[in-house]
């Protein structure tokens, strides 16, 4: 089902957690809400679920205004960060819970409930474990029970709060792939929250990058990585370098010389240059380039990472090169130029007041289970 | 090599319990001595004194009509006070642990009040509130409602004194469990009542049981507050602890200790019940804590 979030604002005891957030989610999409702690991503998820109510704004499920509805009426499937499985119920009872608590008029017969729960356990590859209790399962298995339980009610939208946060790296990768398969098979509109960019970029159809209670950028993983629209996204997604530069008549200057990059149609003045470590080319003989002393060199699998000192208190720059190109680069001076880069003007984006978003404490409180 | 690791681990074992055999023996003797002196001896005395003149006297003492009425009254008062505090305790713990509201800290403190107030004062409060010289007294009298020196007064005083037991037991437990189980149930479409019945209550049942057992033990054993509001009318408003006092003051030691033994038995029964339940459901308890 289509989900539309319109101008949502949410305050927790007068502290804004979300400011004027709008987001359209297509039917059947797999959406990641990505951001650091306190960016408001979990709050947004809980607002869609109906576990919180917005201070202002509306949430539509299809054409219906869902923001007036209670969490029960919204018919969503929510997977909690720590699963929140009912510990005194077997796996089967956990999965059938949502169907069993329905009023008699809408409740399927007991045999049907059992069959559907077993089907779902089959789907999440837990057949044969239906008589176990949650405490007898591994983390990954609990996660899958939680997902089966959420899907049992045939939800309008599936919401997952840090679904893989509590699992170790190996299991996390497996489940990630598996979740994608489940999604492709069942076609539920799915929103999941994560602070792990790799997870978001690998899994989602579209990624919503959030910071300080606002949406920074919405786009496909490619768009987000290749065309970040703000310094925050540039810095948060993947590796990036930033340099303070100046613009003068369409040329970019670093310190006292042009670096061979043109930015036509940009007014003169100070700016920040962003580029990724792998988007650079080495240059012989510097006629307009960046140059720095190699202070550290690390070989990481198929690439060599070089740390460069550009002098005068500038932050160290990291670049990545094919190993053969930088074999003997230690303690030498090398010249390079970004091949793909972006300029952001100073004070382009007004900083939100520092107190504006701090849902961290709020999130911590909920971790209890 | 293997010898080395062997001696190293032996050294570690020794480090873990480095006390000498003598020190350990002394510690054990001291601990046991305390248990015997302060727990076992007094308890044994009660039973020995009760049976001093043989089991026939013991049974006869308990068969006394006034004593029987005291036993019945104690059971009645506990039977009313414990369920009341069960409902209140669950409601208060639920509100405090699962919701944010103004005055929460104040309510939490207030719940502890009966623990910090002397039981005599707890009784006196009701005398001042409902006594003949109080504002309410004449009104109640005109309608023929008797609260003081009657069962309602005893129940009120007992409820007041045993007020915190269930809530105190549940609040930390429910706070630790957080709200995500309840949120999960709600998100799956369960109503508030279904959520409470199928999710919250099973999660807290062991804490609740423990709280109720403690509450019951105290309700049956309470002396101070009950003594103030009871009026000590023989065969009518004397509970078991009060009956023990009266009999003792009359030098009727066998009867006094017989009733005391019965009270002690009730307490022991409570403990046995709790332990038995814990043994019977130990797997489940462990599972619910591990998760």
Contact call for B184 and A84, based on CB within 8 A? yes
Least confident range from A34-43, A182-191, A311-320, B12-21: namely B12-21
Contact call for A366 and B178, based on CB within 8 A? yes
Q: Which of A45, A152, A31, A35 is nearest to A91 (CA)?
A: A152
Q: The domain spanning residue B224 has which CATH number?
A: 1.10.3720.10
Contact call for A49 and B187, based on CB within 8 A? yes
Partner-chain residue, chosen from B175, B191, B198, that has the shortest CB–CB distance to A72:
B191
Residue B230 neighbours by CB distance under 10 Å:
24
Contact call for B291 and A84, based on CB within 8 A? no
Looking at every residue in chain B, the average pLDDT score rounds to 86
Per-residue confidence (pLDDT) for residue B84, from 0 to 100: 95
More confident residue, A168 or A134: A134
**Percent of chain B surpassing pLDDT 90:** 43
Domain assignment of residue B10, yes or no: no
Domain assignment of residue B8, yes or no: no
Interface test with B, best of A101, A143, A367 (most B CBs within 10 A): A101
pLDDT (average), residues B138-165: 88
pLDDT (average), residues B9-18: 56
CB A132 within 8 A of CB A142: no
Is residue A126 scored above 60 in pLDDT?
yes
Shared domain check, B93 and B77: yes
Shared domain check, B151 and B26: no
List chain A residues with CB under 8 Å of B184.
Answer: 78, 80, 84-86, 149
Listed by number, the residues of chain A in 91-150 with a beta carbon closer than 8 Å to a beta carbon of chain B are 97-98, 101-102, 133-136, 149-150
Partner-chain residue, chosen from A80, A102, A135, that has the shortest CB–CB distance to B287:
A135
Is residue B235 scored above 90 in pLDDT?
no
Per-residue confidence (pLDDT) for residue A352, from 0 to 100: 36
C-alpha distance from residue B93 to each of B191, B198, B250 (Å) = 19, 17, 45
Domain assignment of residue B11, yes or no: no
Per-residue confidence (pLDDT) for residue B21, from 0 to 100: 87
Shared domain check, B34 and B68: no
Phi–psi pair at A241, nearest 5 degrees: -115, 145
Domain assignment of residue B254, yes or no: yes
Give the pairing of strands A189-194 and A30-34: parallel
CB B269 within 8 A of CB B221: no
Give the pairing of strands A56-61 and A30-34: unpaired
Partner-chain residue, chosen from A88, A367, A369, that has the shortest CB–CB distance to B288:
A88
pLDDT (average), residues A201-214: 93
Nearest CA in chain B to A93: B198
Taking only the tens place, the pLDDT of each residue in A149-164 is 999 999 989 999 998 8
Per-residue confidence (pLDDT) for residue A349, from 0 to 100: 45
Is residue B67 scored above 70 in pLDDT?
yes
Sheet holding A269-275: strands in order across? A257-262, A251-254, A241-248, A269-275, A341-345
Is residue A347 scored above 60 in pLDDT?
no
DSSP bridge pairs for A320: A305
Domain regions of chain A by residue span = 3-234, 239-345
pLDDT (average), residues A104-133: 92
Shared domain check, B218 and B154: yes
**Running DSSP on this structure, what letter comes out for residue B147?**
-
Nearest CA in chain A to B175: A368
Is residue A366 scored above 70 in pLDDT?
no
> Domain A3-234 falls in which CATH fold?
Rossmann fold (3.40.50)
Q: How far apart are CA B201 and CA B191, in angstroms?
A: 14
Nearest CA in chain A to B181: A84
Distance (Å) from the alpha carbon of B183 to chain A's nearest alpha carbon: 7
Per-residue confidence (pLDDT) for residue B191, from 0 to 100: 92
Shared domain check, B104 and B81: yes
Q: Which of A201, A195, A112 is nearest to A161 (CA)?
A: A195
Shared domain check, B73 and B22: no
A139 φ/ψ sector (left φ>0, alpha ψ -120 to 50, else beta):
alpha
Per-residue confidence (pLDDT) for residue B14, from 0 to 100: 54
Between helix A91-100 and helix A139-152 the angle, nearest 10°, is: 20
**Running DSSP on this structure, what letter comes out for residue A135?**
G
Listed by number, the residues of chain A in 283-312 with a beta carbon closer than 8 Å to a beta carbon of chain B are none
Contact call for A75 and B189, based on CB within 8 A? yes
Is residue A369 scored above 50 in pLDDT?
no
Distance (Å) from the alpha carbon of B172 to chain A's nearest alpha carbon: 12
List chain A residues with CB under 8 Å of B171.
Answer: none
Partner-chain residue, chosen from B183, B189, B202, that has the shortest CB–CB distance to A84:
B183
CATH of domain A239-345: 2.40.50.140
Looking at every residue in chain A, the average pLDDT score rounds to 85
Element (H, E) at B208: helix B201-221
Domain holding B278, by residue range, is: 54-290
Shared domain check, B283 and B267: yes
Taking only the tens place, the pLDDT of each residue in A216-245 is 999 999 999 988 998 899 889 888 888 888
Is residue A182 scored above 60 in pLDDT?
yes
Nearest CA in chain A to B189: A72
Band of the pLDDT at B248, cuts 50, 70, 90? very high
Q: How many domains does one find in chain B?
A: 2
Per-residue confidence (pLDDT) for residue B288, from 0 to 100: 57
Q: How far apart are CA A72 and CA B182, in angstroms?
A: 12
End-to-end Cα, chain B, rounded Å = 42
Shared domain check, B162 and B43: no
Per-residue confidence (pLDDT) for residue A112, from 0 to 100: 93
List chain B residues with CB under 8 Å of A135.
Answer: 287-288, 290-291
Question: How many residues would you count in chain A?
Answer: 369
Contact call for A150 and B287, based on CB within 8 A? no
Supply angle C-alpha A193, A196, A199, rounded to 5. 85
pLDDT (average), residues A68-85: 91
Shared domain check, B111 and B25: no
Taking only the tens place, the pLDDT of each residue in A266-293 is 788 888 889 999 888 888 766 778 888 8
Nearest CA in chain A to B182: A84
pTM of the prediction? 0.78
Distance (Å) from the alpha carbon of A362 to chain B's nearest alpha carbon: 12
Per-residue confidence (pLDDT) for residue A351, from 0 to 100: 40
More confident residue, B95 or A284: B95
Is residue A173 scored above 80 in pLDDT?
yes
Shared domain check, B70 and B145: yes
Per-residue confidence (pLDDT) for residue B287, from 0 to 100: 58
Q: Which of A22, A24, A20 is nearest to A6 (CA)?
A: A22
């Amino acid at each position: 089902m289509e989900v539309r979030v319109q101008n949502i604002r949410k305050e927790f005891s007068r502290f804004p957690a979300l400011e004027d957030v709008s987001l359209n989610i297509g039917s059947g999409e797999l959406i990641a809400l990505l951001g650091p702690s306190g960016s408001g991503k979990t709050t947004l998820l809980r607002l869609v679920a109906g576990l919180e109510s917005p201070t202002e704004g509306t949430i539509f499920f299809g054409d219906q205004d869902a923001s007036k509805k209670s969490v029960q009426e919204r018919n969503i499937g929510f997977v909690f960060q720590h699963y929140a499985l009912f510990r005194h119920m077997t796996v089967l009872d956990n999965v059938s819970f949502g169907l069993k608590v329905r009023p008699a008029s809408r409740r399927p017969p007991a045999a049907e409930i059992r069959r559907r729960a077993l089907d779902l356990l089959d789907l999440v590859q837990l057949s044969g474990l239906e008589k176990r209790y949650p405490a007898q399962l591994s983390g990954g298995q609990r996660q899958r029970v939680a997902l089966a339980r959420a899907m049992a009610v045939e939800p309008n939208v599936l919401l997952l709060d840090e679904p893989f946060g509590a699992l170790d790296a190996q299991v996390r990768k497996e489940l990630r792939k598996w979740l994608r398969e489940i999604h492709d098979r069942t076609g539920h509109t799915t929103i999941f929250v994560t602070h792990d960019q790799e997870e978001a970029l690998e899994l989602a159809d579209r990624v919503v990058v959030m910071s300080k209670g606002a949406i920074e950028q919405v786009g496909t993983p490619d768009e987000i990585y290749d065309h970040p629209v703000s310094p925050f996204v540039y810095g948060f997604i993947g590796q990036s370098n930033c340099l303070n530069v100046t613009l003068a008549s369409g040329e970019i200057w670093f310190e006292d010389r042009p670096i061979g990059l043109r930015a036509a149609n940009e007014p003169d003045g100070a700016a920040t240059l962003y580029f990724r470590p792998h988007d650079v080319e080495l240059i012989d003989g510097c006629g307009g380039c960046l140059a720095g002393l190699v202070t550290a060199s690390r070989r990481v699998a198929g690439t060599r990472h070089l740390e460069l000192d550009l002098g005068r208190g500038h932050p160290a720059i990291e670049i990545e090169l094919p190993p053969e190109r930088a074999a003997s680069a230690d303690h030498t001076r090398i010249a390079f130029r970004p091949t793909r880069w972006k300029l952001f003007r100073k004070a382009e984006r007004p900083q939100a007041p520092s107190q504006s978003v701090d849902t961290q404490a709020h999130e911590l409180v909920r971790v209890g289970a | 090599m293997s010898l080395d690791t062997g001696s190293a681990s032996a050294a570690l074992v020794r480090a873990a319990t480095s006390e000498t055999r003598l020190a350990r023996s002394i510690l054990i003797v001291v601990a046991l001595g305390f248990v015997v002196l302060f727990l076992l001896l007094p308890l044994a005395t009660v039973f020995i004194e009760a049976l001093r003149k043989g089991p026939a006297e013991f049974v006869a003492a308990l068969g006394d009509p006034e004593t029987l009425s005291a036993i019945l009254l104690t059971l009645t008062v506990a039977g009313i006070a414990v369920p009341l505090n069960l409902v209140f305790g669950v409601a208060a713990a639920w509100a405090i642990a699962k919701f944010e509201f103004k005055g929460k800290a104040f309510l939490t403190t207030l719940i502890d009040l009966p623990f910090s107030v002397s039981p005599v004062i707890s009784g006196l409060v009701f005398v001042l509130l409902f006594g003949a010289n109080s504002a309410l007294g004449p009104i109640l009298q005109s309608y023929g409602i008797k609260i003081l020196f009657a069962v309602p007064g005893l129940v009120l005083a007992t409820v007041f004194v045993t007020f915190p037991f269930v809530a105190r037991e549940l609040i930390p437990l429910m706070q630790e469990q957080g709200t995500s189980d309840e949120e999960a149930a709600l998100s799956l479409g369960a109503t508030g009542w279904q959520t409470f019945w199928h999710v919250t209550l099973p999660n807290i049942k062991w804490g609740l049981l423990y709280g109720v057992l403690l509450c019951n033990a105290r309700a049956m054993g309470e002396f101070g507050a009950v003594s103030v509001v009871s009026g000590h009318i023989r065969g009518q408003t004397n509970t078991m602890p009060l009956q023990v006092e009266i009999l003792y003051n009359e030098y009727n030691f066998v009867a006094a200790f017989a009733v005391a033994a019965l009270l002690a038995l009730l307490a022991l029964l409570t403990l046995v019940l709790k332990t038995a339940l814990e043994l019977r459901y130990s797997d489940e308890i462990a599972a619910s804590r591990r998760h």
